[in-house]
Amino acid sequence: MPTLFERIIAREIPANIEHEDDHCIVIHDVAPAAPVHLLIIPKTVIPRVGEATSDQQAVLGHLLLTAGTVARKLGLARGFRLVINHGPDACETVPHLHIHLLGRRQLTWPPG
Catalytically active residues are 98
The C-alpha atoms of residue 65 and residue 112 are separated, in whole angstroms, by 25
Sheet holding 99-103, edge to edge: 17-20, 24-28, 36-42, 99-103, 80-83
The C-alpha atoms of residue 88 and residue 91 are separated, in whole angstroms, by 5
The C-alpha atoms of residue 60 and residue 57 are separated, in whole angstroms, by 5
